[in-house]
Structure 1
Amino acid sequence: MDIDKKAIEITIFTNKEIASALLEDLESIGMEYSNSIAGRRILLQERKGLFKMLGTGKSLMYDPITIITFLVSSEIEQTIISFIIKKGRLNIPGRGTVFSKEVTLIKAHELCQENKIPNIEIENRKLLSDLAGICCIAHSGEGDILGRVGLETGSGVPAITLGIGTGFRDKIGLWRVAIPAEKEIVNLVTTSHNVEKVMEMMIDIGALDQPGKGFIYLYPIKMGSVNMKAYVGLSRQAASIEQMVTVIDEIKGDTRWRRREFSKYPAAGKKIKYLKDLVNFTLICDEGRATDLIKAAMDAGAGGATISKLKYRSTKKSESSKISPAREISEMIISEKQIERVVKALEESGALDENTHGQMFYSPIPKAYTYMKKV
């Protein structure tokens, strides 16, 4: 079905228990479907025993999370986020992050439109609007190193998921580098005035200027509420630093007051040649169909994709309940000029049929970076 209209993608990072309760709350107000993927967030914790005495710094703690995504119309964007924050108590540090971004919904099976949630009576919260996201696709095992940048700089708490890379390895092979297919996808939501410096540091620490090390990009965020609790340990104050930061953010209505100076970090100030005028093209489909569809997209010019498993959830009364709960999400970074060709190839390969139930949308990427072979 042709659509080609703007929609809002809502994303939630939180633990499994809160996620389960939130899904029930959202379904109670009319949400018909959602997608979720298992992941982890990393946190800093104080070392104990001999390591503490030796002053070897902080160690990492791993916390399982669920990442929920769904599409809604822009008219109810702020209301839905306010509802999620209230029901999940996400204004309390450590409970989770919720944010929105604008996407263009191009084509979708008739059962895979945006959620038609009726307007609900709830007081809209004052949300942060000076936010941006960083996504880095790296080798399996590299996620902690990249995510730690957000923790150590106080920029945010990273969410890490798993995926399978396809396509890029064939091109990397020209440089005689063996690239594993297993990937870790690191997402970090931070302030828009710090995001570029944090991205530079991730490029440096992840050695992304080397062949086959990974791909990183920045994405715009419209509004949201961000979890700033990056440290686990006893607090000696009546209120934690994270609680005070959250309160000041709400009072001021933005995050400019906590703009950071990164000049002391070695990577800060490096001149980096970024890729521009790209989009993140997303295809969601039934499990088992992604590989063939991505091959068709690559034949149409796409460079490759990262595929992850999704769990699809719908209400029993919804027509969307006919769709299998086993789904896949494929994300391709392509140029704006390639969108039409890729969409046509996917549609001709059955992306919208009854065995696939495809949904295609894209969002802008202001800046991206990866190793580029010098000509």
Structure 2
Amino acid sequence: MNWRRVDVAYHDPELDHLILAARPLLGEASGRCWFQRHWVCGPHLEWWFDGARPTWDRVREVLEAALRARPSRVRIDQDRLLAQHRHLAAAERIDEPLLPFYEDNTVHRAVPRSRAHVLGGVAAEELFHDFHSAASVAAFDQLDAVAAGESRLALAFELMVAAAHAYAEGGIAGGFVSFRSHAEAFLASTAQPGTVRERWDAQYASRAGELRARVADVVAGTPRGRAWAELLDGFAGRGDELIASGALVVEPASPDAVAEPDSEFHRALRGNRAWQEEVLRSASFRRYRLLLNLTYLQLSRLGVTAVQRSLLCHFAASAVEQEYEVSAIEIATGGT
């Protein structure tokens, strides 16, 4: 397919309204259509189309009208952002030019980037395009809920728990280990992991009852949680086939990982032969890893940052440990 990409430079991180204003483009698309927030050449929103409609003129008309209605007025520190972008480019294996930054409140034709070399091939990239297209439709309803006053992070928490319970071996009581792994990986990457952990633990303690109840609700079945699991189900079997054939790469476990995290939890996992040889290599775990990473992509589409996602992982793991009387570190060391 010949994809077209249009970038909308918008330096204000609050850009839900810009996404929602572009909803007509989704309805007018003659092929697949999806959007994502991105950072190469400065903060921007990307729209991808693989059909002839909407035309470039129509896309520009809709997006420029939205920019005029509510322009970004944020001044960014390009030097600080560029340092972050260089790190992200290395982590995500992006070799595009990072400069110059787009001028704020502008619309640009851009060259579609291929991720085939990262994902494992063209077939894997097509799966991701199909996912992005389906998930972008779902994102509009999810962002409508945020615009109506629902908590963005509570909504994201619901999607994470729903994915884990639906696709991990043992449901949420097994899937929570991935949340603990991703939270610990983030903590290990910070300059003061102990300080950050104390802050996270205090935040969790102040809302533990609410979070445990939310986990129980999602496990019992919420409309949004069920809908998200059903959307992911459309990619599970296809993902299984691609992973089994080697056409889809599901490493690393965390989408932001560059090297193996150095934490007590991860050292225990690396020393757990049964985990390394039986769990990590199993088809069911690789499927879960794929579908959880797809869920993380949706969180990014909704405006949840990597730091916020890591905090949600900590919340989810802690809530499951208390609600189900399980321990991630005991599982990591080979206990139950």
TM value normalised by structure 1: 0.25
Higher helix share: 2
Higher strand share: 1
